[in-house]
Structure 1
Amino acid sequence: MSPQGPGTAVDVDDEVVLLDPDRRPCGTAPRLAVHGLDTPLHLAFSSYLFDAAGRLLVTRRALGKRTWPGVWTNSCCGHPRPGEDIALAVERRVDQELRLALTDLHCALPDFAYRATAADGLVENEVCPVYVARAVGDPDPDPAEVVEWRWVDWESYRQAALAAPWALSPWSVDQMTAFGQAAHPLTAALRAVG
């Protein structure tokens, strides 16, 4: 499902999957209510999208976002709905937020998890598998989600995460560390399945 028009918030009443300390589903909660000062562990995902030239799509979160507004980050993040396959959730959210289709979607960091606290005390606490994919075309983002976007060189973004972590979302910085010295995660993922 795509937004009905620019600035349209999508799926504001989505439920997120709550997880126990062993990362097993243990319930659900409304997405808008789950993020607070004591956010329970829940399931999410991150994605890193690349164009045909191998450049990474980075996005700047809209200023109206509740968590980390105006911060540069990876291509797209979201939460799978209860019972929804995570890869399908990635495709759904990328379509909603960026109006992009994907090819070569692969899970690159299946066990990634993080906890981060924003300056206002808001907490993210997620088990967040990280996906990589090829994007078809340029994004046409929902302005309620993304205020700016750019295609950048993978190594340049990795170096920015190391040199100026305060300038990027904390999950993206942690994911760059988890990717390590990988020359290009999409190439590595395609090689692994090829």
Structure 2
Amino acid sequence: MLVDPEGRALGTAPKTSVHGRETPLHLAFSSYVFDRAGRVLLTKRAEHKITWPGVWTNSCCGHPLPGEALDRAVVRRLSYELGLGLAVERVDLLLPDFSYRAVMANGIVEHELCPVYRVMVNGPVAPNPEEVGETRWMPWMEFAEGVQSGLLAISPWCREQVPLLIKLGSDPLKWRPASPSALPPAARL
């Protein structure tokens, strides 16, 4: 779903046509999966991905289908990419209006209005090799400190999201969800 800078829908376009050198702003989401111990699930993007192949990042990102609520898109992608659909206990909106633009060394651009979610799971991870090269669980503060210090190489969107998440508190299990009414207009269903 293509959007304007205020988050209003402009129309749709195939995913393959919106990830290039002239990437228009489009609706997406990022999710951070946590277990009951407060560990975050990190994923390494598959080596054949068009954008940031082989790069470590947050748990799962994706795009909603036309007419699909973002929280449902999160569960759909977690099921497809990590086999976690049935393990999802809760999906909470955290950063409703996060947006970023990042350019790869080869000129490919990511330009997304990308609300951020926390997902609580209770079950095993089964990575889909079409999407995910590796996974690992990490204590949240160890991960956050590694990102902020630059010791952990991470995707550009994750690098921008982590400081915003840290502001929510040191315990990710206690972060207060944002109101769905704070979502951009195109994401409100």
TM value normalised by structure 2: 0.88
CA 80–87 in structure 1, closer or farther in 2 if over 3 Å, else same = same
1:132-180: per-residue Cα shift (whole Å, max 9, x none)?
0112212101001111101101011111111227710000010002113
Match status 1:23 vs 2:40 = no
Give the whole-Å Cα distance in 1 for the aligned partners of 2:152 and 2:50: 18
Give the whole-Å Cα distance in 1 for the aligned partners of 2:165 and 2:37: 20
Aligned residue identity for 2:146: A
- Note the 1:1-194 alignment, pairs <5 A: 17-100=1-84, 101-164=87-150, 167-181=153-167, 182-189=169-176
Aligned residue identity for 2:142: S
Q: CA RMSD in A?
A: 1.5
Aligned residue identity for 1:48: Y
Secondary structure at the counterpart of residue 189 of structure 1: coil
CA 24–84 in structure 1, closer or farther in 2 if over 3 Å, else same = same
Aligned residue identity for 2:13: A
In the TM superposition, residue 32 of structure 1 has moved relative to its aligned partner by: 1.6
Secondary structure at the counterpart of residue 90 of structure 1: helix
Structure 2 unaligned blocks of 5 or more: 180-189
Secondary structure at the counterpart of residue 162 of structure 2: helix
Q: Which stretches of structure 1, 4 residues or more, deviate above 3 A after TM superposition?
A: none
TM value normalised by structure 1: 0.86
Aligned residue identity for 1:183: S
1:71-128: per-residue Cα shift (whole Å, max 9, x none)?
0000000000111000000000000000003112100111111111111111110000
The number of residue pairs the alignment matches comes to 175
Structure 1 unaligned blocks of 5 or more: 1-16
Moved more, 160-169 or 47-56: 160-169
Give the whole-Å Cα distance in 1 for the aligned partners of 2:102 and 2:126: 29
Tell which has more relative contact order, 1 or 2 (C-alpha 8 A, sep 6+): 2
Give the whole-Å Cα distance in 2 for the aligned partners of 1:25 and 1:98: 29
